Structure 1
Amino acid sequence: MSHLSETGYLRLPEVLKIIPVCKTVWWEGIKAGKYPAGVKLSARCTAWRAEDIQALIERM
């Protein structure tokens, strides 16, 4: 696995390289509470905190 920074934000393509699921499964997982919710950076831009993704990896 590639190095994941400890802080910052990841866009969806970067997240899906780390968590190998399709976009539909990712968004359904967010609605179900399985995956962390993203942070809206603008009206059309969502990103995920690197800390949240790291915590998800550790739980898996």
Structure 2
Amino acid sequence: MPANDNFPLVSLNDVCKMTSLSRTAINIKRARGDFPQAVALGEKRVAFVRAEVIAWIDARIAARAA
């Protein structure tokens, strides 16, 4: 399912598309605490809060102007 603004959660694949980062890069950032925490949906399934990912992206954009 493609990312949709009506859903508060987005999949890891959608986060990859939103950020232009690979799954590996996102998981490295998650392990370092440099990325929004995932929401566990099952034993092997996670999602992310869309608003938190967008805020993370916005912070990266704001940081470039500093």
TM-score interval, normalised by the smaller of the two chains: 0.7 to 0.9
CA–CA distance in structure 2, aligned partners of residues 5 and 26 of structure 1: 21
Gaps of 5+ in 1: none
2:22 is matched by which residue type in structure 1?
C
Runs of 4+ aligned residues of structure 1 deviating over 6 Å after TM superposition are none
Asked whether the 8 Å contact 1:10–1:50 carries over to 2, the reply is yes
DSSP 3-state at the match of 2:13? helix
Gapped regions of structure 2 (runs ≥ 5): 61-66
Q: For residue 34 of structure 1, what is the aligned residue in structure 2?
A: 34
Identity of aligned residues (%): 19
What's the TM-score, normalizing by structure 1?
0.82
Using CA pairs under 8 Å that are at least 6 residues apart, name the structure with larger relative contact order, 1 or 2: 1
Q: Give the alignment's Cα RMSD to 1 decimal.
A: 1.8
How many residues are treated as equivalent by the alignment?
58
